[in-house]
Amino acid sequence: MEELKKSDFYFDLPEELIAQDPLEDRSASRLLILDKKTGETSHHIFKEIVEYLHPGDCLVLNNTKVIPARLLGEREGTGAHIEVLLLKRREGDVWETLVRPGKKCKPGTRLVFGDGLLKAEVVDTVEEGNRLIHFEYEGIWEEVLDRLGEMPLPPYITHKLKDKDRYQTVYAKYEGSAAAPTAGLHFTKELLKQIADKGVNIAYVTLHVGLGTFRPVKEENVLEHHMHSEYYEVTKEAADTINRTKEAGGRVICVGTTSCRTVESAADENGRLKACCGNTEIFIYPGYKFKVLDALITNFHLPESTLVMLVSALAGREHVLNAYKEAIEQKYRFFSFGDAMFIK
């Protein structure tokens, strides 16, 4: 296979098209529909998605919940400001974290948050400079975190989020993500009901989104990029729903690249799923043969990101870049709080 170059996935995005705030009405975002075979595009409003889903199709949603993982505190005794981002719970009250500024946070350093409601000690430094931190508190961890933590918005969003719930999907259930599966943000409960009433199956899977989602591809040769690891879970109910859909000739439509990575990681060679859980480092780029997914609802992604590569694996790089060019001309809103695309 010819070498895949990072620069092949570059496009010029005017900064003003990066959506800084969520829309008042989730389902009022715009929707660009892209035919993956022909490259044809058409322009819609997101709630019109119902018309493009057929009875017997299956919509796969990621029901992970974002934790308010950004903690602002200080180093005990010095008052020096510190920012801690919770990445992964290791065991009990020990978390793998990203600390800024990290230099002075050597093992043994004590940290304080919220006037002492939460205290912590740096235990160890692990790969990529991440710190293992042991937290000390009274009461229930989730409640302490909900009180002190902020939503860990992506680095390109500079506005403060007024309502924490707008960085959650309406079906978010299992806590564990450091970023939202943003394609799901367009769905309202009413829209999901309309979709179910039409005879579309809905399957919920879980993938806890890591910050690696935003990590840029540094290597010009794409194949040298090391993918981050993320935890996923597929229940028997979800596996059965997806398998039945395939057997009956329906389409499996993933909402977001996270749902896509989950079902593709969990499937066997024949595209069948069973109940399972584990960590995945799946990297999907052009040349990949999809085992389960037939269509994808997704947002507009960063230039040269692994997500643009995944979308290009499904619809072809030229089709995707042409559609993005059109979206930019039409002033679509990009990234987490931006508009959506349906690749059918």
pLDDT in tens, 133-155: 999 999 999 899 999 999 888 87
Dihedral of alpha carbons 292, 296, 297, 301, sign: positive
319 sits in which H/E element: helix 317-329
Amino acid at the residue 130: N
Residue pLDDT tens, the chain, 344 long: 567 899 999 999 999 999 999 998 999 999 999 999 999 999 999 999 999 999 999 999 999 999 999 999 999 989 899 999 998 888 889 999 989 888 888 999 999 999 899 999 999 999 778 899 999 999 999 899 999 999 888 878 888 888 888 999 999 999 999 889 999 999 999 999 999 999 999 999 999 998 777 677 889 998 888 888 899 999 999 999 999 999 999 999 999 999 999 999 999 999 999 999 999 999 999 999 999 999 999 999 999 999 999 999 999 999 999 999 999 999 999 999 999 999 99
Q: What pLDDT shows up at residue 316?
A: 96
pLDDT in tens, 236-285: 999 999 999 999 999 999 999 999 999 999 999 999 999 999 999 999 99
223: burial class by Cβ within 10 Å (0-12, 13-18, 19+)? exposed
Quick check: pTM over 0.85?
A: yes
pLDDT at 210: 83
| Per-residue confidence (pLDDT) for residue 288, from 0 to 100 | 96
pLDDT at 2: 61
What's the pLDDT score for residue 297? 98
- Name which of 195, 246, 199, 202 is nearest 49 in CA terms: 195
For the chain, first and last CA: distance in Å? 26
Which amino acid belongs to residue 74? E
- Residue with tokens 């935003």, as numbered in its chain: 214
The span from the CA of 223 to the CA of 309, in Å, is 11
Tell me the domains of the chain and their CATH numbers: 6-66+163-343 (3.40.1780.10), 70-148 (2.40.10.240)
Beta strands in the chain (DSSP E): 30-34, 41-45, 58-62, 64-66, 70-75, 81-91, 94-100, 110-113, 118-125, 131-137, 174-177, 201-207, 230-234, 252-255, 276-280, 295-299, 340-343
Q: Which two tokens stand for residue 178?
A: 């450091």
DSSP secondary structure, 234-295, as one string = E-HHHHHHHHHHHHTTPPEEEEHHHHHHHHHHH--TTS---SEEEEE-----TT---SS--E
